[in-house]
């Protein structure tokens, strides 16, 4: 009886891990194929900005979940004024796609961007050259609006 329970447990664990891997892969495939994948998060940023417009001149943090889940960004960066515009799972192409809506309206004094690692995850089909090209396009897009803006 104990042996059957162990075998059953191993089978259930294997199925669960397989399902998790499929779910992550499906997420990455869907996100990679659709630059507007995070539209819901971007709309939420726009609604938050309409409800309480951040003053221009803050340092804007943008990128993937490392930014999104930085719980005490404002406290950690005090006394600097910051705005958190991270959206979980973002690839550089998503940040680039949403530049006009996420960065430009804030007229920041600097931008801190963390993106690129999700681009290189298994299943995206992207390589380092593609990520670098997206980064270069991002910098060019920022520079088109703010020629001297520091980008970190």
Measured distance CA(55)–CA(82) in Å, rounded: 10
Give the pLDDT score at 37. Answer: 87
Helix (H) or strand (E) holding 110: strand 110-114
* CA nearest to 40, candidates 89, 82, 103, 105: 89
pLDDT at 24: 43
Residue 11, C-beta contacts closer than 8 angstroms, at least 6 positions apart = none
**pTM over cut 0.85:** no
Residue stretches of the chain with pLDDT short of 50: 6-29
* CA angle (110 as vertex; 106, 113 as ends), nearest 5: 95
What pLDDT, on a 0 to 100 scale, did the predictor assign at position 69?
Answer: 93
């Amino acid at each position: 009886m104990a042996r059957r329970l162990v075998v059953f447990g191993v089978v259930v664990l294997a199925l669960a891990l397989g399902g998790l891997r499929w779910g992550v892969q499906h997420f990455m495939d869907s996100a990679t194929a659709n630059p507007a994948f995070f539209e819901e998060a971007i709309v939420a940023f726009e609604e938050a900005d309409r409800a309480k417009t951040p003053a221009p001149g803050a340092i804007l943090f943008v990128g993937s979940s490392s930014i999104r889940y930085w719980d005490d960004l404002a406290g950690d960066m005090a006394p600097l004024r910051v705005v958190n515009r991270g959206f979980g799972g973002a690839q550089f192409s998503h940040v680039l796609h949403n530049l006009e809506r996420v960065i430009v309206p804030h007229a920041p004094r600097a931008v801190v961007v963390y993106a690129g690692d999700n681009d290189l995850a298994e299943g995206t089909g992207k390589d380092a050259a593609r990520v670098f090209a997206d980064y270069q396009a991002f910098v060019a897009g920022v520079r088109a609006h703010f020629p001297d803006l520091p980008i970190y």
